Amino acid sequence: MQTTISTKYQIVIPSEVRKRLRLKPRQKLTVLEKGGILYLIPEGPLTDLRGVAPMVPAEGFRDKEDRY
């Protein structure tokens, strides 16, 4: 898939990708550049990360005093 940068430096994310990633209007994307490659990372709620590391215990990583 390809997209084009407009004269206002805007890009369109192809509909197939938007649907697959369930992107919504006004959703934030983090833009990273590394080695001449752009990465667009959709921001989502932390609850989307639930279950990513099921064997890792959630307790004992930091004390309550460490919180801001």
| 3-22 pLDDT tens trace | 999 999 999 999 999 999 88
Pairwise CA distance, residues 65 & 60, whole Å: 12
Taking CA atoms, 18 is separated from 33, 41, 53, 64, in Å, by 21, 12, 26, 39
How far is the first Cα of the chain from the last one, in angstroms, to the nearest whole number?
A: 43
Can you give the pTM of this predicted structure? 0.59
Residue 18's Cβ-count burial label (10 Å; 0-12, 13-18, 19+) is middle
- Domains annotated for the chain, with CATH where assigned, are 1-44 (2.10.260.10)
The more confident residue out of 2 and 60 is 2
pLDDT-derived band at 68 (thresholds 50, 70, 90) equals low
